[in-house]
């Protein structure tokens, strides 16, 4: 009866029953107990020990002769005498005698294999009295969906001669050969109708066995010649197929090839993917090496293509491998002459060469076997990955392309590494953020011999600062700065040049241009926060819809904001005053007349997003955000009611750095007509600190909140302003009450309520 080994078959459609148990030839007869050869004083000193050497044989076909040394790990042996297992040997020795097993008996048959105890429990078989007939009928299945790579062998031992065992692989190996012009990759291999079990020891016959599907999924696609892409058990099955999921020349394809009808253990087979020309059909085949007779995929071409180091004009830092077939270039720009030794004239096969260009310029006149090429490459920027390219040639007069007719060129990465968003273009050596950015723009990690400098065009502000990081002086942080009320912050392109050079003398300069859009909103400082002077309007996220520093109407009029709002025309006042927001769209709503009342144009009673609970930067332009509840408290949170319909002052409940008094000054507009509605008593309230007179007051203005279809008028006025506040818990500030008693109160309101948005400048490390 065949013995089966349970080899983790849970993912397959068959199961080998249970753990290994040695089935008896005659199940009705109990085996004769065998003494336990476990721990003890060792072999009888009267019986001399025999040494049985062990070695792994080569494959029985061409294509691979290097032993798989890992297979010699975990070797174990068992001895049979007169058809009965009598001893187990767990550990081979490696001594002057060689590598093998010390045996404490003089005759019998010794079997050696490399299966673990989980795969085959020899101690259990010994205890059960396993017979040699049962042992030779033992099968092994697959593990984790693939055949087990095991080796086995045996010999009859004798004290009259030297004893040795040549172990043979219990599987066949499949190698991959890719013969394509351009890129090809194989993502998976699926073997259909393949043997799922095999005997531990070959009996020189291939028997029918249970078959099924085996799939190989490499961790990354196969893109080059690869040994051992798959392993199969021996089988005789003309219906077996291989299907491969591949990408050739950028096009996905499903390839199919018939597996040789007979697969033999300890043999090598080749899977070959061939596509020489762009319009040629893909060829996908599997063949046995058969001592190399039929699968020699390329002719004897004589001389290998190598680099002529004397005639080539190589750039500084270039390195050539010992065999002359591999060239390594530094990250620097290069344009040079490369001369290759070859008895034949070489043609370059067009393929993807990345940033490398190569042009044939003919053979050396009067010197046979010299092929000349002009090669150029750009400077590799920091952050660019190294590349390795195979330049494939065809010998003139031959139709086929052969894999050894290639030159490998490795293009090294820039030794300066780069972290962050910056990624310099290889053609322009520039990077444009194309928006306003500040704070850390990126990090340069420098070699010890390099330094980073920054240069600005004539007339440009020093908007970038280079700062060593805390962890290392060789890690340089590139900081984008900000200037309060910058008169040039109109959205113009702001540039700088980052220069990498030798720290010793400034030589070997690499120059990289960096740029951003320089936008800025007018601000005033109050208790540690740079507050915007004006409410948001239009698209709240778009600088172009906001009042910029260069178009600050109050500054252009030579006034502060409070006085400007008092003195400007009704039309100008309406442009600033009449904006509010709802939800997360950032789309501003304007005050309009509808059926005789003032409402926010676009107001919706179905809005479900609470502005205050959004991230602080959600509705703001780049570099700005909604102030937090705590930052509003530095102005509003007083010890008593803050009556905003009057000028006056109030004391903060929690003084900011010892500063507690807030002065209030109010103005009113009564001349605004929207449609047919006259809007009167429109408040503008300036708040300032007497401790910081150099900073302009913050001025609060805007339409009352709308929360239903009744519009923005409440208690017969339009000043019940609800402020947008960053508050994840949903709290906020609101001007409540009538014009006889209008006061500040904490009220986060709901999702439908409209709010005015007053942003602040987000914290910035570098102010210039």
Spatial neighbors of 29 by CB under 8 A, at least 6 apart, are: none
**Would you say residue 16 has pLDDT above 80?**
no
- In the DSSP assignment, the letter for residue 634 is H
Contact present, 386 and 410 (Cβ < 8 Å): yes
Residue 289: name the closest of 260, 246, 332 by CA.
260
What pLDDT does residue 386 have?
94
Q: Which residues have a Cβ under 8 Å from the Cβ of 154 and sit 6 or more positions away?
A: 109, 110, 111, 112, 165, 201
Q: With a cut of 80, say whether residue 563 has pLDDT above it.
A: yes
CA gap 450, 325 in Å, rounded: 32
Rounded to a whole number of angstroms, the CA Rg of the chain reads 41
- Half-sphere exposure (CA, 13 Å, Cβ side) for 403? 15
Distance from C-alpha of 611 to C-alpha of 631, rounded to nearest angstrom: 17
pLDDT digits 0-9 by tens, 315-343: 999 999 999 999 999 999 999 999 999 88
pLDDT tens-digit readout, 491-532: 999 999 999 999 999 999 999 999 999 999 999 999 999 999
> For position 694, what pLDDT does the model report?
98
- Percentage of the chain exceeding pLDDT 90: 74
725 within 8 A of 732, measured Cβ to Cβ: yes
Chain segment 588-633, per-residue pLDDT in tens: 999 999 999 999 999 999 999 999 999 999 999 999 999 999 999 9
Ramachandran angles phi, psi of 132, nearest 5°: -65, -35
482 by DSSP, 3-state: which? strand
Q: How far apart are CA 335 and CA 429, in angstroms?
A: 18
DSSP class of residue 137 equals T
Q: Which helix or strand (DSSP H or E) is residue 661 part of?
A: strand 659-669
Contact between residue 537 and residue 642 where contact means Cβ atoms under 8 Å apart: no
* Confidence category of residue 116, pLDDT binned at 50, 70, 90: confident
Secondary structure tally for the chain: helices H, strands E: 6, 55
Site of tokens 């007509």: 673
Q: Facing residues of 288 across strands?
A: 269
Mean pLDDT of the 37-59 span? 66
pLDDT in tens, 198-255: 999 988 788 878 899 999 999 999 999 899 999 999 999 888 999 999 998 888 888 9
- Tell me: pLDDT of 370 over 70: yes
- What stretch of H or E contains 571? helix 570-577
Q: Measured between alpha carbons, how far is 109 from 103 in angstroms, rounded to an integer?
A: 11
Cβ atoms of 246 and 255 within 8 Å: the answer is: yes
Residue 298's CB is within 10 A of a number of other CB atoms, namely 13
Please spell the DSSP secondary structure of 581-595, one letter per residue. B-TTS-B-EEEEEET
Mean pLDDT within 121-133: 94
Tell which residue, 685, 643, 687, 637, has the closest CA to residue 662.
687
Dist CA 236 CA 261 (whole Å): 6
- Residue 429, judged by CB atoms within 10 A of its CB (0-12, 13-18, 19+), counts as middle
Average model confidence (pLDDT) across the chain? 89
- % of the chain surpassing 70 pLDDT: 89
Q: What is the pLDDT of residues 149-201, one digit of tens each?
A: 999 999 999 988 899 999 999 999 999 988 887 788 999 999 999 999 999 99
pLDDT value at residue 277: 62
Q: What is the mean pLDDT of residues 705-732?
A: 98
Mean pLDDT of 375-400: 90
Give the HSE-up count for residue 223: Cα atoms under 13 Å, Cβ half-sphere: 10
d(CA 587, CA 601): 11
Count how many residues are written for the chain.
Answer: 768
Q: Give phi and psi for 429, each to the nearest 5.
A: 50, 45
Residue where the block lists tokens 């000193």: 45
Look up residue 549 and give its two tokens.
């520093």
Cα gap 146→194, rounded to integer Å: 11
C-alpha torsion sign, points 432, 433, 439, 443: negative
667 vs 503: CA distance, rounded Å = 61
Q: Is 351 in contact with 182 (CB distance < 8 Å)?
A: yes
Residue 109 scores a pLDDT above 50: yes
- Comparing CA positions, the residue from 576, 581, 591 lying closest to residue 534 is 576
Q: How far from chain centre, in Å, is Cα 40?
A: 57
């Amino acid at each position: 009866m065949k013995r089966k080994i349970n080899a983790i078959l849970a993912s397959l459609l068959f199961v080998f029953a249970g753990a290994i148990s040695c089935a008896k030839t005659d199940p009705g007869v109990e085996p004769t107990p065998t003494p336990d050869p476990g721990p003890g004083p060792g072999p009888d000193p009267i019986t001399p020990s025999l040494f049985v050497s062990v070695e792994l044989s080569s494959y029985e076909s061409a294509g691979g002769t290097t032993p798989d040394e890992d297979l010699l790990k975990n070797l174990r042996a068992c001895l049979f005498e007169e058809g009965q297992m009598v001893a187990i040997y767990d550990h081979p020795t490696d001594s002057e005698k060689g590598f093998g097993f010390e045996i404490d008996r003089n005759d019998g048959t010794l079997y050696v294999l490399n299966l673990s105890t989980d795969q085959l429990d020899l101690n259990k078989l010994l205890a059960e009295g396993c017979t040699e007939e049962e042992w030779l009928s033992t099968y092994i299945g697959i593990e984790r969906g693939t055949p087990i790579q095991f080796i086995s062998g045996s010999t009859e031992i004798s004290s009259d001669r030297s004893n040795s065992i040549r172990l043979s692989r219990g599987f066949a190996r499949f190698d991959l050969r890719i013969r394509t012009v351009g890129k090809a990759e194989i993502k998976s291999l699926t073997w259909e109708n393949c043997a799922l079990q095999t005997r531990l020891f070959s009996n020189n016959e291939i028997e029918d066995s249970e078959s099924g599907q085996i799939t190989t999924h490499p961790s990354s696609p196969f893109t080059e010649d690869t040994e051992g892409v798959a392993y199969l058990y021996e089988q005789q099955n003309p219906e077996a197929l291989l299907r491969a999921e591949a990408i050739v020349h950028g096009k996905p394809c499903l390839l199919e090839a018939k597996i040789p009808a007979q697969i033999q253990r300890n043999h090598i087979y080749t899977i070959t993917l061939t596509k020489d020309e762009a319009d040629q059909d893909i060829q996908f085949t599997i063949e046995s090496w058969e001592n190399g007779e039929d699968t020699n995929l390329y002719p004897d071409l004589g001389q290998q293509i190598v680099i002529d180091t004397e005639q080539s004009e190589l750039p500084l830092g270039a390195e050539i491998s010992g065999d002359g077939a591999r060239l390594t270039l530094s990250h620097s720009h290069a344009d040079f002459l490369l001369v290759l030794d070859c008895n034949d004239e070489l043609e370059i096969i067009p393929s993807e060469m990345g940033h490398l260009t190569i042009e044939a310029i003919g053979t050396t006149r009067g010197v046979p076997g010299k092929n000349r090429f002009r090669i150029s490459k750009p400077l590799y920027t920091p952050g660019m990955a190294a590349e390795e390219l195979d330049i494939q040639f065809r010998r003139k007069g031959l139709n086929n392309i052969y894999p050894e007719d290639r030159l490998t060129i490795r293009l090294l990465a820039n030794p300066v590494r780069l972290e962050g968003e910056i990624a310099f273009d290889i053609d322009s050596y520039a990077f444009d953020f194309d928006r306003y950015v500040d704070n850390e723009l990126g990090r340069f990690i420098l070699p010890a011999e390099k330094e980073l400098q920054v240069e600005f065009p004539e007339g440009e502000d020093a908007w970038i600062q280079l700062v060593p990081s805390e962890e290392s002086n060789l890690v340089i942080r590139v900081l984008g700065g900000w200037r309060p009320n910058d008169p040039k912050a109109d959205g113009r392109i702001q540039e700088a040049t980052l220069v990498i050079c030798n720290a010793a003398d400034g030589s070997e300069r690499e120059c990289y241009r960096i740029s951003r859009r320089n936008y800025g909103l007018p601000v005033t400082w109050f208790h540690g926060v740079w507050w915007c002077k004006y409410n948001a309007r239009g698209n709240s996220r778009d600088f172009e819809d906001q009042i910029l520093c260069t178009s600050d109407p109050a500054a252009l009029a030579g006034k502060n904001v409070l006085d400007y709002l008092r003195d400007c025309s009704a039309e100008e006042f309406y442009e600033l005053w009449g904006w509010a927001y709802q939800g997360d769209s950032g789309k501003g709503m304007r005050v309009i007349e509808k059926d005789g009342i003032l409402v926010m144009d676009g107001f919706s009673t179905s809005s479900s997003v609470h502005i205050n609970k959004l991230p602080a930067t959600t509705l703001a332009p780049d570099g700005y955000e909604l102030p937090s509840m705590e930052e509003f408290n530095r102005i509003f949170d007083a010890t008593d009611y803050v009556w905003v319909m009057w000028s006056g002052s109030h004391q903060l409940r929690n003084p900011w750095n010892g500063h507690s008094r807030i002065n209030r000054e109010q103005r009113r507009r009564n001349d605004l007509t929207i449609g047919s509605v006259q809007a009167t008593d429109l408040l503008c309230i300036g708040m300032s600190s007497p401790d910081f007179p150099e900073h302009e007051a913050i001025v609060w203005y805007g339409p009352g909140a709308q929360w239903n279809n009744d519009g923005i008028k409440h208690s017969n006025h339009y000043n019940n302003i609800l402020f947008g506040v960053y508050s994840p818990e949903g709290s906020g500030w609101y001007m409540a009450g009538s014009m006889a008693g209008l006061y500040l109160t904490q009220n986060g309101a709901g999702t439908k309520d409209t709010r005015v948005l007053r942003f602040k400048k987000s914290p910035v490390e570098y102010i210039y």
